[in-house]
Amino acid sequence: MSQQSCSADQLAQLFGPNTTNAQAAATLICDQFTAVSRNFTDTGYAIDNTYLLFSAYLVFSMQLGFAMLCAGSVRAKNTMNIMLTNVLDAAAGGIFYYLFGFAFAWGSPSNGFIGKHYFGLTDLHSDNLDYSNFLYQWAFAIAAAGITSGSIAERTQFVAYLIYSSFLTGFVYPVVSHWFWSPDGWASAFKKSDLLLSTGVIDFAGSGVVHMVGGVAGLWGALIEGPRIGRFDHAGRAVALRGHSASLVVLGTFMLWFGWYGFNPGSFNKILVAYDSGNKYGQWSAVGRTAVTTTLAGSTAALTTLFGKRLISGHWNVTDVCNGLLGGFAAITAGCSVVEPWAAIVCGFVASLVLIACNKLAEMARFDDPLEAAQLHGGCGAWGVLFTALFAKKEYVLQVYQGDQSRPHGLFMGGGWSLLGAHVIQILVIVGWVSATMGPLFWGLKKLKLLRISSEDELAGMDLTRHGGFAYAYEDDETHKHGIQLRKVEPNASTPTTDGGL
């Protein structure tokens, strides 16, 4: 909110000739006006900051959703393990994003590749950044790490989780977010000049930046580890290793749905922005529209998955519907602020088909992802990036990203091919960057025998062998107080041989 100014000299000239000490009166009036104007400005900052903090809290609540979704999607014998990894994604991510990640992502002034300031939040305060921005962006970073943890669930050593999560949140993800979200990023739509293909990449809340990064990282982790024991039979046919609790899956899905209203609408960062002063339509309206497009895309994807999977399998499967819903959310995240509600329905419909197709390809390739995270976030995220390049509306693009009337927008909305070209580049560079960083990391962990647990531990379940007991107590602890004995796990423990491993 801009602060209004008052000139005592100019105001004094407006008083009549009979005014006693016009200059003093004008100065008094201007002082009062300036004080009121500053109060309004301060109030505007407070409203925007509170909005961003509340959005950060919503996005952080998605960690509970991830934890419940993951817990319900794995077998009971690995519940404690997967929940602990979700806790540590947030904790380790908090430290490493504070030390390095935020600086690499947002440290300005910088070059187009990586940020160079604000390490450890040093000298953070600027016209555009404050502590609330750090909290919000940290919540995004740990969401990317949470996606990857689902892909490698039920067979990964605990130390591997700590290493990859710290590396992803402290370096890999921040560099990508700098490219596409920082005003200094080489492909950012927020740059003042020299935009990529005259448009930059419109990835508003991160179908590519968050979901593709997490999905591609999970893809490499799962490929290098190989499938879980028993996931495919000797003939290569898929064997369902169903999660132990549909109730937790549904609970986690609703928590994620709730948090997505901070993820997408919150990405405006500010709400008190008038597009046309004196008009009831402003950024607060765009925030509402973004929540609507988010809802419609997820709802459409859920219904499409419901009937699509019914035709394929003959069942009404609640887990499939939940994954379809989340696939619609992942897809709309890029274009949620710049498309019409009807376009969001198209987005959700296609996202469901993309997820079903990716799951089929994964099964054919003997690729095992217990939460379908690589297919859901990687595949549907990529579709969301392309969708935005097709359906972004000119009016909304100019409101959110500003620029002149010639700025490119969606191809199907009459905006030409430039935006689509920029978004194809985004998909390629994200796949290339994450593959070049996370692929060697997972490969190195495998060579050091730090990636996968032993066959014995995998069959018994990590809750028993690594975490002191099962997540669920089926009998009184007194009856089993001598029944569980922990043993030391050596780094060179044998790892299972699978045809699906690399």
Q: What is the DSSP string of 365-394?
A: TT---TT-HIIIIIIHHHHHHHHHHHH--H
User: Average pLDDT of 164-169?
Assistant: 96
Contact 147, 373 (CB under 8 A): yes
Sign of the C-alpha dihedral, residues 430, 375, 267, 405? positive
The total number of structural domains that make up the chain: 1
137 inside domain = yes
pLDDT of residue 133: 96
Q: What is the CATH number of the domain that holds 421?
A: 1.10.3430.10
Q: What is the pLDDT of residues 223-244, one digit of tens each?
A: 999 999 999 998 889 999 999 9
Q: Residue 492 pLDDT more than 80?
A: no
What is residue 473's predicted lDDT score, i.e. its pLDDT? Answer: 75
pLDDT at residue 395, as a whole number: 94
- Specify if 146 maps to a domain: yes
Q: Please, which pLDDT band fits residue 476 given cuts at 50, 70 and 90? A: low
pLDDT surpasses 60 at 218? yes
Of 54-58, 271-275, 401-405, the range with the lowest mean pLDDT is 401-405
Q: What is the mean pLDDT of residues 333-358?
A: 98
pLDDT band at residue 295 under the 50/70/90 scheme: very high
Note if the bond before 491 is cis, omega within 30 degrees.
no
Considering the domain boundaries, does residue 288 fall inside one? Answer: yes
429 domain residue, yes or no? yes
Band of residue 118 on the pLDDT scale cut at 50, 70, 90: very high
In which domain, by residue range, is 401 found? 40-458
Is there a domain that residue 182 lies in?
yes
Q: Is residue 501 part of a domain?
A: no
What is the pLDDT, as a whole number, of residue 37?
Answer: 78
Q: Can you give the pLDDT at residue 165?
A: 95
Average pLDDT estimate for 165-186: 97
pLDDT recorded at residue 17: 67
Residue 196 lies in a domain: yes
Mean of pLDDT over the chain: 90
Q: What is the model's pLDDT at position 502?
A: 39
Cα(125)–Cα(98) distance, rounded to whole angstroms? 15
Higher per-residue pLDDT: 210 or 273 = 210
| Any domain includes 19 | no
